[in-house]
A = this chain, B = another copy of it.
C-alpha cells in the first residue's frame, strides 16, 4: 500500500465479532499486530469503532435492541446496522467497547485518527419505530415542551401542534405514539418533532463515543457520511467531530439516488453525475467546519471510500471509464479534501460485498483503480498544494427543510434536496464554484450571491443577516413558509422586512403542465401567486408575477427549470459582479486559490477555451 503512495488505512470498523467473540472475552492481539505492521510500513491508521455491526450475542443480551420499520417489522440480525439508536442497553455496550479501544490505542502513535461507527443512516437506519424509540421520543418531547418538574407541558405541545384540529389533543406525554400507521396522514408537526428527535438520537449516540475517545486520545475523530443520506442533521453531528469524511460512489449513486432522467443515467453511466459528488464535497466541507462559529470557513474533510470500479449494490453496476478514478480523486482534492481513500483494498471473495471491486482483485492481481491511484499519487507529488478559497456564491442547505418537504411535499415527488441540487447544478453550469452553507450561518462576508431556495424555516435573525449581507439574495419557493412548529405564519410568507411580497396562494402541478415564463424557461411542479408592491422581475408568459425583488432580495415564487434558473442566476450574478461562463454539458470547473481545475465528465472529448479535454480528462490551469 505504501508503495502505491497510500498513507492512510482504515481498520476495525466491522470487527466487534473478532474483538469480542463472546461477551467479555476480548481478543486485541490481532489488532495490536495489525496496527504495528501497518505503522512499521509507514502507514497511518484510522481506527474505527465497531458499533455498526453488533455481534449475534448482543441480541441475546438485548433482545429489544433492534430497530422497527414504519410497517412495524423488526429489522433483524444478518447484515449490519441492526440496532435502534434509542436503545439504552446497546448504547451502553457501545460505550464499553469504545472505552476499551480508546484506552488501548488512544496513545498508539500509529493510530492517527478515529472513526465512529460506519455510515450512520445507511439502509434507512435513522428512523425507528421501536418501543425504545417511542419511550425516548416521549422523553424528548417533555424536554422540548418543558413544564414544571420533569413532566413537560402537554398543553404547550397541543397548542404548538394545533392538535385541536381533529380532536388530537393529548392529556399526557405518555399518550403520544410514533407517527406511523395512522389511518391517514398524521399531523405534520408531530412528524417533524419525530424527525428532529430521530436526528438528535444519532447525534447523541455519536457523541457518547466521541467523548470517550477524547478522554484517551488526541487524534482527530471522524465519521464517514454517505451520499444523500439526510435523515439526520450532519451539521449537528459534525459539530462534535474533527473531520468529516464521506463515501463517494459516483456510479452507484447515479443508479440509485441522484434522480437523473433515464437519458442522463445512460449518458453518465460510466462517469457518474457531474455535480452530485461535487455537491457532497462542498456539503461535507461545510459539515467539517461545523464546529467553528459560522461554517463559512474551511472545514477538514476527506473521502473515506472512493469507488474503485464496479460495486455490488446498485440496480446496475457498470465499470467506470478508464481515468474516472483519477478524475474523481482529483476532483475531491480540488474541492479541498485532505485525503482520498479507496474502498476496498482487496476484493473479498465471500459474503455480501464479494462483487465490490477493490484496488486488488480477489486473487491479488492489481485492478484498474490501482494504476489510476498510483498515477494520482505521482501527480500529487509534483503538484502545488491545493489552497482553498472562499467561493463568491453561497448556497444554504438545511436538513430540517429536507424533512419538512418530505413531510409535506404537497405535489408528488417534490423534494428539497432536488431543489437545492438543481440550483447547485445551474450555478456550476455557469462555471461557478459554490460554498454550501449551514442554516446557522449569519456572517455572509465575501459572498456576492447567497441562495436559500426552499428553506422553509427562516428565523428573524437570518432574514436580517441576509438582508444586511450586501450580497444578492435569492429566496423562494417556499422560503420562510413555516414557523418552527410547522405552522403557516400570519402575516403570510415570506413576511420579509423590506420586501413587500405575499404568497397569496400556491399550487402544485403535474410534470406535464409546465408554465412557460415570459423570458424563456418555465416553472414546473410548484407555482405560487405573489402579491405586494415589490418589483416584478419575472412573469409567466400570461403575465402573472413569478419573481419579485426589493433591493438585493429576490423572491422566486416557483420551481424554475434549468433554463429559468440559468437566466435568473445569470442576471443575479451580473448584478453581483460575478463573472460567469456557460460550460458544455458534463464539463465542470473548480477554482482553488492556486489553480482552476477543468473536469470532463462526458464519454467523449470536449474542446474548451483552455484546450482539449479528453474523456475523463482533468486540466489544471494555474491562477
Pair B318/A509 contact, Cβ less than 8 Å: yes
* 10 A-B residue pairs with CB within 8 Å: A14-B165, A53-B167, A76-B177, A79-B166, A79-B182, A80-B166, A82-B183, A123-B183, A162-B348, A316-B509
Q: Which of B57, B265, B316 contacts A508 (CB 8 A)?
A: B316
Residue among A74, A181, A529 with the most chain B CB within 10 A? A181
Q: Answer yes or no: A18 CB below 8 A from chain B CBs.
A: yes
Q: Answer yes or no: A168 CB below 8 A from chain B CBs.
A: yes
Q: Give the complex CA separation of A510 and B314 in angstroms.
A: 11
Q: Which of B76, B168, B170, B349 contacts A487 (CB 8 A)?
A: B349
Q: Give the complex CA separation of A60 and B467 in angstroms.
A: 51
**CB-CB under 8 A for A76 and B181, given A188-B352, A490-B349:** yes
Q: Give the complex CA separation of A451 and B190 in angstroms.
A: 50
Give the shortest distance, in Å, between A390 (CB) and chain B (any CB): 39
List chain B residues, Cβ under 8 A from A74: 181
**CB-CB under 8 A for A505 and B357, given A164-B18, A351-B187:** yes
Q: Give the complex CA separation of A24 and B573 in angstroms.
A: 65
Q: Give the complex CA separation of A367 and B266 in angstroms.
A: 47
List chain B residues, Cβ under 8 A from A189: 350-351
Q: Which of B186, B350, B408, B504 contacts A162 (CB 8 A)?
A: B350
Q: Answer yes or no: A90 CB below 8 A from chain B CBs.
A: no
Which chain A residues numbered 396 to 438 have a C-beta less than 8 Å away from chain B? 408, 410-412
Chain B minimum-CB-distance residue to A169: B17
Pair B169/A487 contact, Cβ less than 8 Å: no
Which of A65-73, A272-280, A441-449 lines the interface with chain B? Answer: A65-73
Chain B minimum-CB-distance residue to A502: B363
Pair B185/A79 contact, Cβ less than 8 Å: yes
Q: Which 10 A-B pairs have the closest CB atoms?
A: A162-B350, A17-B167, A165-B351, A349-B488, A78-B182, A53-B167, A162-B351, A315-B412, A78-B186, A123-B184
Q: Give the complex CA separation of A185 and B167 in angstroms.
A: 39
A468-493 CB mask vs B (1 if < 8 Å, else 0) is 00000000000000000111111110
Pair B317/A510 contact, Cβ less than 8 Å: no
Chain B minimum-CB-distance residue to A53: B167
Chain B minimum-CB-distance residue to A506: B310
Q: Answer yes or no: A163 CB below 8 A from chain B CBs.
A: yes
Pair A309/B505 contact, Cβ less than 8 Å: yes
A46-84 CB mask vs B (1 if < 8 Å, else 0) is 000010011111001000000100011111111111100
Q: Answer yes or no: A497 CB below 8 A from chain B CBs.
A: no
Pair B75/A181 contact, Cβ less than 8 Å: yes
List chain B residues, Cβ under 8 A from A188: 351-352, 354
Q: Give the complex CA separation of A480 and B93 in angstroms.
A: 43
Which chain A residues numbered 258 to 274 have a C-beta less than 8 Å away from chain B? 262, 265-266, 269
Give the shortest distance, in Å, between A73 (CB) and chain B (any CB): 6
Pair B80/A50 contact, Cβ less than 8 Å: no
List chain B residues, Cβ under 8 A from A179: 78
A72-103 CB mask vs B (1 if < 8 Å, else 0) is 11111111111000000000000000000000
List chain B residues, Cβ under 8 A from A175: 56-57, 60
List chain B residues, Cβ under 8 A from A182: 75-79, 82
Q: Give the complex CA separation of A490 and B350 in angstroms.
A: 11
Pair A266/B491 contact, Cβ less than 8 Å: no
Pair B410/A187 contact, Cβ less than 8 Å: no
Pair A353/B165 contact, Cβ less than 8 Å: yes
**CB-CB under 8 A for A510 and B183, given A162-B348, A165-B14:** no
**CB-CB under 8 A for A312 and B410, given A183-B80, A269-B510:** yes
Q: Give the complex CA separation of A357 and B72 in angstroms.
A: 34
Q: Give the complex CA separation of A412 and B265 in angstroms.
A: 15
Which chain A residues numbered 544 to 598 have a C-beta less than 8 Å away from chain B? none
**CB-CB under 8 A for A167 and B350, given A183-B81, A317-B410:** no
Pair B316/A168 contact, Cβ less than 8 Å: no
Q: Answer yes or no: A22 CB below 8 A from chain B CBs.
A: yes
